[in-house]
Amino acid sequence: MGSESSIGGGRVVSLDILRGLTMLVMIFVNDLAEIHGLPWWTYHMPPGVNGMTYVDVVFPCFLFILGMAIPLAVRKRLEAGDSMPRLWWHILLRTFALVVLGLVLANVSKVDRVLTGMPPGAWGSFALLGAILLWNVYPKSPDRKLIYSVLKYAGLLLLVIMLALFRRTTKDGHAAWLDFGYWEILGLIARAYLAACLLYIPLRRKPWAPILLLLGLTALSIASRLGWTGFLHRIPYALWPFDSGELPSIAMAGIVASTIFLDSSLAKTFKAKALWALGFAATLLIAGWILLPLGLQKNAATPSWCLFSSGIGVLLFLALYWLADVRRVTGWGAILNPAGSNTLLTYLLPDLFYFIASLFVFTLPWGSGGLGAVRSAIFTLAILSLSGLLTRLRVRLQL
């Protein structure tokens, strides 16, 4: 989950705003999931039920934004003088870091307080504190270089200690270490990021390559839905980030959108960019409609869900690009700036709050109906405000 959004020496404001909006909605709907008595469309569609709500578009928006940022990040690093091995080393380290954070978040609820020696909330809080200290971007100050190095290595040590102490109890009563069965959203993003990079970077000089790669990933997703890719399950999960093409296809759609909007070799004027984008979005939405017989489910990551989500991502970015980068109307997005540029910290803050609150047996008030929705909105604004405060205090995570 990166925040590279620069091109030609400046920020792509619309990409930061879209990232910030996605974070805002994610925090809101995650908290809203605990609120009862609201309309069906305020929640995820139940597993196995065909359909999708706006909530089901949040996660793919992260993947779409991730894809849009990949060409910018790769170009920026290569122009800064990075060699290809150094670029791949950065990609692998970033992937590994996201997987570690994902496994931490996925395993907090499984902490055995007796075997681990602390309650789940304390373990999760210390692990995230270690991650924040380790991956914080410290100011370049020669006078405080030693202090910042101590903080960074203290964070690494704290995170390693928490991982070493972790113990859970399996269903058959045995003690075990981390459960690798689910890598959480951050882990899934890491896999899609690595898969997209593996496919895009070798072919980055070919403008048509992302479109063909998107077609290939979508074809793989269709084949999987038809039951033709059982052989893929024989490959160890950790060694095959492509899965059945579903999540990487959304990231690849973002790469195509990045080519349309942010690469002048394809379209130079906004009108040309808009026509290309509308055509691309229409193609995605029509393809999703044609493939509806294969299902429309987020949990199953069906082809239609991937295509609809990608099409929605293109249209959202088109609107924001026109508003923020063409018309320069950006003041309304000020509250989103920290979430858009300091995304990983903003992502972790709600979990850190819940972990700490659990230690004091504290729960937020107003747990149902409209008042519950108000509570979720207030909580979301509080998290965004806290992210803004920490960003001003130079707490900024970058993998």
Using one digit for the tens of pLDDT, what is the confidence trace for 119-165?
A: 999 999 999 999 999 999 998 888 888 999 999 999 999 999 999 99
Give CA 292 to chain center in angstroms: 26
Residues whose CB is less than 8 angstroms from the CB of residue 398 and which lie 6 or more positions away in sequence, other chains included: 2, 3, 135, 137, 344
Quote the tokens at residue 209: 């390559």
Show the tokens assigned to 299. Answer: 């949990």
- What average pLDDT does the structure give for the chain? 93
Q: One-letter amino acid identity for 38?
A: L
Closest listed residue to residue 100, CA positions, set 170, 189, 168, 175: 189
Task: Give CA–CA dist 355/372, Å, rounded.
Answer: 20
For residue range 270-325, list pLDDT tens digits in order.
999 999 999 999 999 999 999 999 999 999 999 999 999 999 999 999 999 999 99
- Is the pLDDT at 185 greater than 80? The verdict is yes
Tell me the CA distances in angstroms from 204 to 71, 198, 268, one per residue in order.
Answer: 8, 11, 19
Q: How far apart are CA 291 and CA 279, in angstroms?
A: 18
Tokens representing 168? Answer: 């859970």
Query: How far is residue 40's CA from residue 131's CA, in Å, rounded to a whole number?
Result: 36
Distance CA 253, CA 384 (A): 28
Q: Do the Cβ atoms of 4 and 341 come closer than 8 Å?
A: no
pLDDT band at 256 (very low <50, low <70, confident <90, very high): very high
Q: What is the pLDDT, as a whole number, of residue 10?
A: 53
| Percent of the residues in the chain that have a pLDDT greater than 90, as a whole number | 82
Q: Could you tell me the two tokens for 345?
A: 């910290």
Mean pLDDT over 13-34 rounds to 94
In the block, which residue shows the tokens 């859970």? 168
Residue 230 CA to residue 43 CA, distance in Å, equals 32
The tokens for 398 are: 């970058």
Nearest to 83 by CA among 7, 91, 69, 206: 91
pLDDT for residue 8 is more than 80 = no
Output the CA–CA distances (angstroms, integers) from residue 320 to 68, 315, 316, 331, in the order listed. Answer: 14, 9, 6, 13
Cα–Cα distance, 51 to 44 (Å, whole number): 9
CA distance 200 to 206: 9
| Biggest alpha carbon–alpha carbon distance for the chain | 64
What is the average pLDDT across 42-65?
94
